[in-house]
Structure 1
């Protein structure tokens, strides 16, 4: 049986996912599921360095004005430019480091 983090790694090696999509794929429900996924991604990022892999981050983006956030493991709640809450979540993928 795979742990939740092992399942996340497996999914991210196959394709790119947002935190919400990961939570859905892992059948996680509830308010704290995104927070748990983000904590798992931070831990996974540290372990990947030892394995010669890297966690790629496509940054979050405001759907209203197009503002691109820093590529980090978090889901912003509001755009600093236009104050919109219509935010496209960041996407994550695991690749082998060259």
Structure 2
């Protein structure tokens, strides 16, 4: 059980230290929308990468399930369509703190 006084971003950091997760998985865990999670993750990535700690914010990019395209310009995003083949079958990015 999480402490009531932890902020959403603190909770995200703790969850991502345990195992990689997608925005949808984190949204279910924290009762938020995937798009709200992505907004929080932008700040989490800056705070983790900005510290002198031994941690890194890592992103497995979104990937088109049809053609395999994974060269998206912005990794902290939920693309709706593949720019290569125009498919809407996109696997969400996965995030972790290592």
Q: TM-score range by the shorter chain?
A: 0.7 to 0.9
Q: Secondary structure at the match of 1:56?
A: strand
Match of 1:27 in 2: 31
Is 1:88 equivalent to 2:86 in the alignment? no
Query: How many aligned residue pairs are there?
Result: 91
Match status 1:44 vs 2:44: yes
Deviation sequence 1:1-37 (CA, Å, 0-9, x none): 2111111100000000000110011122xxxx22211
**TM-score w.r.t. structure 1 length?**
0.86
RMSD: 1.3
Q: Which has the higher strand share?
A: 1
* Structure 1: 4+ residue segments shifted above 4 A: none
Instruction: Extract unaligned runs of 5+ from structure 1.
Output: none
SS at match of 1:81: coil
Q: Deviations over 1:54-96 (max 9, x none)?
A: 110000000011111336111111001110000000000001x
**In structure 2, C-alpha distance between the alignment counterparts of 1:69 and 1:40, rounded to whole Å:** 23
* TM-score for both structures, normalised by structure 2: 0.86
Residue 51 (structure 1) shift: 4.6
Look up the match of 1:55: 57
2:16–2:95: 8 Å Cα contact kept in structure 1?
yes
